Amino acid sequence: MTYAPKRFDFSIPVRINLYSDTQTRPSRAMKEAMLNAEMGDEQGGSDPSVWALCDKAAAMLGKEAAMFLPSGTMCNQVALATHCRPGDEVLAHEDAHIQGAEGGGPGAIAGVMVRGLPGERGIFSAETLEEAIRPTSRYSPPQRLVEVEQTANKGGGACWSVDGLNAVADVAHRHGMQVHMDGARLMNAAVALGVPASEIAAGCDTVWLDFTKGLGAPLGAVLAGSAAFIGEAWRWKQRLGGSMRQGGMNAAACLYALEHNIDRLAEDHANAAALARGMAQIPGITVETPETNLVFFDTQGTGMTVVEFAGKLRPLGVMVSVSDTWRGRACLHLDVSAGQVEEAVAIMRQVVRD
């Protein structure tokens, strides 16, 4: 069995890409910032653009220090391996990204077990966490870390409230556990809630921010925490591949994203709401009300599986993603306009009618 990705069919152009916000392309202005970046050697600490990005991101996230990594998945794996020891248990939502979308990394890299907690829309309560905490015993794995995902992807892009996060963090800290935030779409939550990212992440010991989703950079994420934690995390970065050498070119894209692409996330949220309203009017399609830029929908009423629905959209230039048999996802981002949302709804209506 092969695990290599299938080669994309470039013969069919994608005009309206609702597959994921990871599909964004760097703008000309972002590319110019990359070309003009000051660079050095990240390994030796001499790349000024990487330092500028880490300092700015740490301040925005309310943490002492940060490190630049290629991806959010790597941020999660470095964080888990730094927080925990083999045999430890991590408590996270049962639909968390670290559970089903990181190739078994928690077990393979950190040697930890992930215990899934229930909760509506990808969010569990402080009471649920309290119930999952066991008395300390030599028979049980040490419960070392609580992980939360902001926004909750499989929860439909739902936002953890600041009060909800703080309540969970209080329970974790009272029991001697640390809290790690998967902040893949943290800035979407900050814009939707009208709250600074630093306030959202205040109760978390570590947090990372992805630049390749709604923020529009070609690669990169930043993991932030205490200076001591980031110092220790560097050993895991080294083990998993080391530095990015002249990473300043990529860091410049991420800096541009922080300076220009946060406030505009509100446009994606408005387009998501418009898409949801339009899809809800198509017979047979049930739509979950979006909180941010993710629109989850169910095609069972049409008689088509999501794979069939997506397959009929694709030749017409529209691409969506598949979650399971009936549930699909459309993701709004800076490369999808309000006009394209209207066109996508019209094409979906045509596919269902035909």
pLDDT digits over 170-217, tens only? Answer: 999 999 999 999 999 999 999 999 999 999 999 999 999 999 999 999
- Give the model's pLDDT for residue 8: 75
Question: pLDDT band at 340, cuts 50/70/90?
Answer: very high
Answering whether pTM is above 0.75, one says yes
- Give the model's pLDDT for residue 294: 98
- Give the model's pLDDT for residue 166: 98
Question: pLDDT band at 2, cuts 50/70/90?
Answer: low
Residues 346, 155: Cα–Cα separation, whole Å: 26
Task: Name the β-bridge partners of 260.
Answer: none
Which of the residue ranges 42-56, 181-195, 293-307 would you say has the lowest mean pLDDT? Answer: 42-56
Residue written as tokens 């394209």? 340
User: Which one is the CATH code of 16-25+264-353: 3.40.50.1100, 3.90.1150.10, 3.40.50.11540, 3.40.630.30?
Assistant: 3.90.1150.10
Query: Up-side HSE of residue 48: CA atoms within 13 Å toward CB?
Result: 4
- Give the model's pLDDT for residue 94: 97
Alpha carbon of 47 to those of 29, 37, 50: distances in Å? 21, 10, 6
Average pLDDT taken over every residue of the chain: 96
With a cut of 80, say whether residue 163 has pLDDT above it: yes
Residue written as tokens 């390994």? 43
pLDDT digits over 7-26, tens only? Answer: 777 788 999 999 999 999 99
Contact 252, 223 (CB under 8 A): no
With a cut of 70, say whether residue 83 has pLDDT above it: yes
User: Mean pLDDT over residues 278-304, rounded?
Assistant: 97
Residues 244, 219: Cα–Cα separation, whole Å: 12
Element housing 110 (H / E): none
User: Mean pLDDT over residues 106-116, rounded?
Assistant: 97
| 115: helix, strand or coil | strand
- Closest by alpha carbon to 149, among 183, 125, 121, 116? 183
User: Mean pLDDT over residues 307-320, rounded?
Assistant: 96
| 209: helix, strand or coil | strand
User: Mean pLDDT over residues 256-273, rounded?
Assistant: 98
Residue spans per domain, the chain: 16-25+264-353, 37-260
Contact 238, 89 (CB under 8 A): no
CATH number of 37-260: 3.40.640.10
- Give the model's pLDDT for residue 45: 85
Residues 341, 354: Cα–Cα separation, whole Å: 20
Question: pLDDT band at 42, cuts 50/70/90?
Answer: confident
Residues whose CB is less than 8 angstroms from the CB of residue 328 and which lie 6 or more positions away in sequence, other chains included: 296, 297, 298, 299, 306, 309, 310, 320, 321, 322
Amino acid at 146: V
With a cut of 90, say whether residue 242 has pLDDT above it: no
Question: pLDDT band at 1, cuts 50/70/90?
Answer: low
